[in-house]
């Protein structure tokens, strides 16, 4: 498990690293391209504005002549000493070079380059390139006289100083990128280790709980999702611990309950088999005792099956059941037991006490409560069963005048196989499952059951079940 936890941690680290890497690469690409492109475009616009302004200045000095000549062009441009360009090229309307500050030897030749052709067509033209740390810019403009193109002016400039600035910006961005990468990697290593360590704590806790250590709890500090997950895990572990304790107690109690009648059956059968001279009357008595033990086993198994059905929450056909009618029917069946125990059984039954259930379930609730009230009462005692409709609920109360239930035991009497007086409960034939069945059945139908003292003595059980109304059935 530790190896799996390590692999999972590494997997999480790898996935986190890949995710961070993609984000960092995207940010670094943006950081190293967008500022450079913006700076480069800004320099292009600056070059365009400067060259085009100077081109306009040159063309304005040449527009006064009706025809451009080499001497006239040179005379007109000579005073323009403040022009910050590397080369000035002037052609006539046919593209013949009249003036060139960079290459005087090409004077008298035709220069039909793109910028010259564009200017002779009457258009301003500009183009700039950045290559090998230098901005190369070219601007051209037509020379007009009476709205007629009589020539073209082309200005050329090679600016390495701005190229150096752009290269410095590029280098600074690279340095910043390296710093960002280092800082992000450092933070990633710190956060990933903290994160994976917290995940490893959770995995180790799950491993220990899976191995059966239900008392183990995970402790994570903070207020993030992992802390909430740890809290949920601890709550789940607590429920597992409670469930496991109940399961072990249930197995122990069930084994003990089954062991007693089985031991009686074995003892009685051994007595019959080993005594060859046993008389018929004794044999019948032993067989009767064996039958009683078998009936007890059947009763226990039936109650266990009923609890299993309630635990699974299986839905069975239900109908509108009159609780008062079930109480009246059950009390008639238990009247002989009450008479034998010298207990007076009284009923006060209300009208319209209908619930959506099964007759068997309501009968199970009533029979267990009334039978317990009779069995654990005192001679000349009294059992009172009351039903009434209270708005949207049906109330069932079973009160007795017995010895009562100690306050410290009331919170546990609905536990399976729990008995307040174990010796008396077994003597009365109880299995310790009746009240558990009552609680689970009531809860299955959305109701509640509670227990309290009866004045001046005894105990009162109160069951509240959702009432079934006729308009609901019609709807």
Residue 135 CA to residue 130 CA, distance in Å, equals: 4
In the predicted structure, residue 474 carries a pLDDT above the cut 70: no
The C-alpha angle with vertex 261 and arms to 257 and 263, in degrees rounded to 5, equals: 105
**379, exposed or middle or buried, with CB in 10 Å at 0-12, 13-18, 19+?**
exposed
**Residues 186-208, mean pLDDT to the nearest whole number:** 76
**Residues 356-366: tens digit of each pLDDT:** 888 888 988 99
Residue 466 CA to residue 413 CA, distance in Å, equals: 23
72 pLDDT band (50/70/90 cuts)? confident
Say which residue, 347 or 317, is predicted with more confidence. 347
Beta bridge partners of 142: 152
Contact predicate 402/338, CB 8 Å: no
Place of tokens 């259930």: 357
Say which residue, 278 or 366, is predicted with more confidence. 366
**355, exposed or middle or buried, with CB in 10 Å at 0-12, 13-18, 19+?**
buried
Give residue 462's pLDDT.
93
- Quote the pTM value: 0.49
Q: Who contacts 48 (Cβ-Cβ below 8 Å, separation ≥6)? A: 126, 128, 137, 139
CA dihedral 184, 189, 195, 196 (to 10 degrees): 140
Residue 220 CA to residue 151 CA, distance in Å, equals: 83
- What's 106's DSSP letter? G
Rounded mean pLDDT of the chain? 79
In the predicted structure, residue 314 carries a pLDDT above the cut 70: no
Contact predicate 76/151, CB 8 Å: no
In the predicted structure, residue 161 carries a pLDDT above the cut 90: no
Give residue 10's pLDDT.
55
**Residues 150-164, mean pLDDT to the nearest whole number:** 81
Domains and CATH numbers, the chain: 2-166 (3.30.450.20), 225-309 (1.10.287.130), 316-474 (3.30.565.10)
Give residue 253's pLDDT.
62
Collapsing DSSP to helix, strand or coil, 156 comes out as strand
Give residue 256's pLDDT.
61
């Amino acid at each position: 498990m530790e190896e799996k936890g390590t692999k999972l941690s590494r997997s999480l680290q790898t996935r986190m690293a890949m995710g961070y890497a993609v984000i960092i690469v995207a940010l670094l690409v943006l950081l190293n391209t967008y500022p450079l492109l913006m700076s480069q475009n800004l320099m292009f616009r600056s070059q365009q504005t400067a060259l085009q302004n100077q081109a306009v200045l040159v063309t304005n000095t040449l527009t006064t002549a009706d025809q451009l000549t080499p001497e006239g062009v040179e005379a007109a441009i000579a005073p323009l000493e403040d022009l910050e360009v590397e080369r000035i090229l002037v052609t006539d309307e046919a593209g013949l070079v009249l003036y060139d500050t960079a290459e005087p030897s090409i004077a008298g030749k035709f220069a039909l380059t793109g910028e010259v052709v564009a200017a002779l067509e009457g258009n301003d033209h500009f183009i700039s390139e950045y290559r090998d740390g230098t901005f190369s810019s070219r601007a051209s403009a037509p020379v007009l006289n009476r709205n007629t193109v009589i020539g073209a002016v082309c200005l050329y400039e090679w600016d390495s100083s701005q190229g150096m600035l752009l290269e410095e910006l590029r280098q600074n961005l690279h340095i910043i990128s390296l710093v960002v990468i280092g800082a992000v990697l450092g933070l990633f290593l710190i956060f990933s280790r903290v994160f994976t360590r917290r995940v490893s704590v959770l995995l180790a806790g799950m491993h220990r709980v899976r191995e059966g250590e239900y008392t183990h709890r995970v402790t994570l500090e903070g207020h993030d999702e992992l802390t909430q997950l740890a809290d949920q895990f601890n709550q789940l572990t607590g429920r597992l611990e409670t469930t496991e304790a109940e399961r072990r107690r249930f197995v122990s109690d069930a084994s003990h309950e089954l062991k007693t009648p089985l031991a009686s059956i074995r003892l009685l059968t051994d007595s019959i088999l080993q005594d060859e001279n046993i008389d018929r009357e004794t044999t019948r008595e032993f067989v009767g005792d064996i039958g009683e033990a078998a009936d007890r086993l059947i009763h226990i198994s039936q109650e266990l099956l009923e609890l299993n059905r309630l635990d699974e929450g299986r839905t069975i056909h239900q109908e509108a059941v009159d609780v008062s009618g079930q109480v009246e029917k059950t009390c008639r069946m238990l009247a002989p037991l009450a008479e034998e125990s010298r207990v007076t059984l009284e009923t006060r039954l209300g009208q319209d006490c209908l619930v959506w259930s099964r007759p068997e379930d309501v009968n199970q609730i009533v029979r267990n409560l009334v039978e317990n009230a009779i069995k654990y009462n005192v001679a000349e005692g009294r059992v009172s069963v009351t039903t009434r409709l209270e708005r949207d609920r049906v109330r069932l109360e079973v009160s007795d005048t017995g010895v009562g239930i100690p306050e410290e035991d009331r919170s546990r009497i609905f536990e399976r196989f729990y008995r307040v007086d174990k010796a008396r409960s077994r003597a009365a034939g109880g299995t310790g499952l009746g009240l558990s069945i009552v609680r689970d059945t009531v809860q299955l139908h959305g109701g509640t059951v509670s227990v309290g003292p009866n004045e001046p003595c005894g105990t009162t059980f109160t069951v509240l079940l959702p009432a079934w109304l006729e308009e609901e059935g019609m709807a």
